[in-house]
Structure 1
Amino acid sequence: MYFALPKSALQVFNALEDKPISSKELARRTNLSERTVRYALKILKENGLVEEIFFLRDARRRGYKRKKLTPG
């Protein structure tokens, strides 16, 4: 399957890891604004590429990680 993703979404996807990371940390790693990172995450979530996780210590905070993709 082919996704036409914006450049910012590709940058954010490449900065993601297998463990949850905050949007603020993603902005720091990619040198993108937090607003741009949030938009990129929205696109990635809509395409099933990113998983959103709530941190247990503070449910207001969210983390993002690459979704495990299964072939087929």
Structure 2
Amino acid sequence: MAIIINLDVVMAQRKMGLTQLASEVNITMANLSILKNNKAKAIRLSTLEAICKTLDCQPGDILQYIDEDETDQ
């Protein structure tokens, strides 16, 4: 996957646990865990907005693009 989700890194920087973030963003622990573990295939912009608001960050702090062609070499 070319998009990497660095949610776990931002959560650690903010010292926020999965339970607290799930509660504040109003998302299930299971869905947040899927995001955190980089298993998600999609994310709603409203969810991304709520996460960014809660963690006081920008979408670019959470999402990272990696060119798969460069990593294969």
- Decide: shared fold, TM above 0.5: no
**Greater strand percent: which structure?**
1
**Greater helix percent: which structure?**
2
Q: Which has the larger radius of gyration?
A: 2
TM-score tier by shorter-chain length is 0.3 to 0.5
Higher RCO, 1 or 2 (CA under 8 Å, sep at least 6)? 2
Q: TM-score scaled by structure 2?
A: 0.36
Q: TM-score scaled by structure 1?
A: 0.37
